A and B are shown apart, each in its own frame.
Chain A
Amino acid sequence: GENVEQHPSTLSVQEGDSAVIKCTYSDSASNYFPWYKQELGKRPQLIIDIRSNVGEKKDQRIAVTLNKTAKHFSLHITETQPEDSAVYFCAASRSNYQLIWGAGTKLIIKP
């Protein structure tokens, strides 16, 4: 069935460095790819999303890239800060409402 694989499961980076989280999806008809951030004890919150008609989207220190041919998409966080520490989830869907979720990446920002 459809699935989304997310790597790495844990990522530790020095404050100020960049972090990259990668996801692959199996359903070539997927056309929507959101990223959610979940801080400890809090709700998942959408931080950025991308649709299949674009290859890259940026919002300040956050960017997402999409390679439809390879069925990969990635989250890039530059100039990481302590408040970036959280679990990040990727997801993919096509034109229905069932998002398929990755297992999450725990991002640790070291001071």
Chain B
Amino acid sequence: ETGVTQTPRHLVMGMTNKKSLKCEQHLGHNAMYWYKQSAKKPLELMFVYNFKEQTENNSVPSRFSPECPNSSHLFLHLHTLQPEDSALYLCASSQDPGQGDQPQHFGDGTRLSIL
């Protein structure tokens, strides 16, 4: 399934760098999500966008800045990250943001390593 595409697949950056993660969905969905996946922990929801509007921000540090220019594209801008931010960052989308029982479709993720 290539409905949700994330780039890059791998990213190594220093703590003072600025980089961006990109997500694109070709499913015609209206909601997009950023998750952080760390080893042996539940998926952590970071941000939710419905019809380009941010509706959830789960106490994410300001060094993570999301951007959703349209319903098909989602970015996560990174700056001055910490070593504990090293993780797999997953993007997902779902059809109807108002319905909790909509399956979420994930991308392959970006493996982020902070030096």
Number of B interface residues at 8 Å Cβ cutoff, please give it. Answer: 28
User: Given the complex, which residues of A lie within 8 Å of B43, measured CB to CB?
Assistant: 44, 89, 99, 101
Check A46–B42 contact: CB distance below 8 A.
no
- Which residues on A sit within 8 Å (CB–CB) of B98? 97
Q: Which residue on B lies nearest to A32, using beta carbons?
A: B101
How far in angstroms is the closest Cβ of chain B from A41?
A: 8
Would A43 and B106 be within 8 Å (CB), given that A9-B40, A97-B31 are in contact?
Answer: yes
The 6 closest A-B pairs by CB, nearest first: A32-B101, A101-B42, A93-B100, A43-B106, A101-B43, A95-B100
Contact B94–A49 (Cβ < 8 Å):
no
Q: Closest CB-CB distance, B69 to chain A, in whole Å?
A: 20
**Interface SS of chain A:** loop
Which A residues are in CB contact (< 8 Å) with B50? Answer: 97
| Interface flag for A42 (CB, 8 Å) | yes
Contact of B42 (CB < 8 Å), options: A34, A45, A96, A102: A102
Residues of B within 8 Å of A100, CB to CB, are 42
Contacts of B102 in A (CB 8 A): 97
CA distance A98 to B105 in the complex (A): 14
Q: Which residues of A contact B45 (CB under 8 A)?
A: 98-99
Q: Is the CB of B100 within 8 A of A49?
A: no
- Residues 76-111 of A, flagged 1 when their CB comes within 8 A of B and 0 if not, give 000000000000010001111111111110000000
Contact A103 B40 (CB under 8 A): yes
Q: Which of B30-74 contact A (CB under 8 A)?
A: 31, 33, 40-43, 45, 48, 50, 55-56
Contact of A46 among B48, B99, B103, B109 (CB under 8 A): B103
B100 and A97 within 8 A (CB): yes
A31 contacts chain B at the CB level, 8 A cutoff: yes
| B interface footprint on A18-52 (CB within 8 Å = 1, 0 otherwise) | 00000000000001101000000011111001010
